[in-house]
Homo-oligomer: A and B are copies of this chain.
Amino acid sequence: MLDQKLNKFLHENQVSFIRDISLLVAQPSVSARSQGIDECAELVRRMTEEIGADTRIIKIDSSAPIIYGEVSSTLSKKTILFYNHYDVQPEEPLEKWESPPFKPEVRGEKLYGRGTSDDKGELVARLKVVESFIKVHGQPPCNIKFCFEGEEETGSLHLNEYIGQNQDLFRADAVIWEGGGAIDDSGTPIVTLGLKGMLAVEFILKTISTDAHSMYAPVLPSAPWKLVRMLSLITNKKGEIMIPEWNQKIRTLTDEEVNVLNNQPFNAETILRTYGVDDLPPGMSNSDARKALVDGPTANISGIWAGYTGPGIKSVLPAEAHCRMDFRLASDQDPKEQKERLRSYLDNNGFKDIQMSVISSLSPARTNYRDPFVKAAVDAGDEVFQRKTITRLSDPGSGPMFVFRQRYEVPVVSLGISHTGALIHAPNEHIRLDLLENGMLWIARTISNFASM
């Protein structure tokens, strides 16, 4: 049973919602270069206050502020917390944007701009859903909390500390995650129950005090060669991670989880085509690929550099070699344990002299698909979109979901207003305006469903 009054209000105020999203998108907030973060935080605080929430800014040292918001309800003792972020990815390459990234523009039923989907559009949609409840009914169906952070795109380095220091403030019975890409391109809603974890490290290897002429190669140790030797031990030819006990804490999926996985429509073809690749890796089927994206640990080289990389030729024996790797973690893999495993493996194989620093450390997180809150979200999706909602055990990406999921032992699910083809992190990021109203209804209905359970 849909809430007709709320439905009508959401329908009649679409233009004003788009204006609000545009307002936030127009304030640059690129955490990677600390651009506009404080200004954007203040704008978010004001927008949160304007819907009728009590707000608080929480800031540790020079990190990006967290905006906390709270709207209480007399209708239910339950509390839902919304996690979103107001920082965005850098807009480069600028020349590939058809309109300026920080001047939001509507073209053909789409709103373009950096952060329209990830995650300012989602953030504003949640605020406006709660505001709509207040305007229509005087209050939301249950207590609402907001947690808006400004460092998500740089690895949420302080979030766990923030929440740990304000344990009671952020306590909730369920969490709705940031929600990007929650509607597939055909208009089917997707509820996502988990995120992979991540251990990202930077290696620095110095073998000689200064770059040498490469004629000395017979007698001087080479940093890039040593790095190549080290990397070639981390994975084997098939790409499998060779670090002892690395996969020890990957749980076998239960039969029921396998069932959920098998019901998730997936065509690897779509990804392969996007990147101009003909086939999956040898021996990998489409369903293997689906499982690996949900549950498979990875070892990725995100950057490597040494020596002379400019034009022309310079026969140098490089003094240093650098490499960054990100390891996606699944199930119960713990980034701190994995770091120790990696370090020991390198030490035991003759690479004690390689410096390794952690640049990102996120635990995996996953909500049990049988949790009632999952049903609340799935039922809401079915109802609003009139389609069978897809349930995904996990996104292939990573994020700080564990901060809430593990600390409070509450369900966390991701749903929202934006579609999978929204070009997040890329030029011409956008949201589809034809999905905005249903996306907001979906959020509203999930809140109502949960409150009345």
Contact = CB atoms under 8 A, between A and B. Distances in A.
Total copies of the chain: 2
Contact of A289 (B32, B200, B219, B314): B219
A197 to B, nearest CB: 12
Nearest to A32: B312
Interface stretch (A108-116, A162-170, A299-307): A299-307
A217 B328 contact: yes
B312 A208 contact: no
A268 B220 CA distance: 10
A120 interface: no
A52 interface: no
A302 B289 contact: no
A75 interface: no
Nearest to A198: B315
Interface stretch (A129-137, A141-149, A182-190, A316-324): A316-324
A381 B345 CA distance: 56
B313 A280 contact: no
Contacts of A207: 277
B224 A304 contact: yes
A293 interface: yes
| Smallest CB-CB A-B distances: 5 pairs | A209-B276, A218-B292, A217-B298, A215-B396, A303-B307
16 contacts: A196-B215, A198-B315, A209-B276, A213-B397, A213-B425, A215-B397, A217-B299, A218-B293, A219-B271, A221-B281, A224-B304, A301-B306, A303-B308, A304-B309, A305-B309, A315-B360
Given A215-B293, A304-B306, A315-B360, 8 more contacts: A209-B275, A215-B328, A219-B271, A219-B280, A219-B284, A304-B321, A305-B305, A307-B324
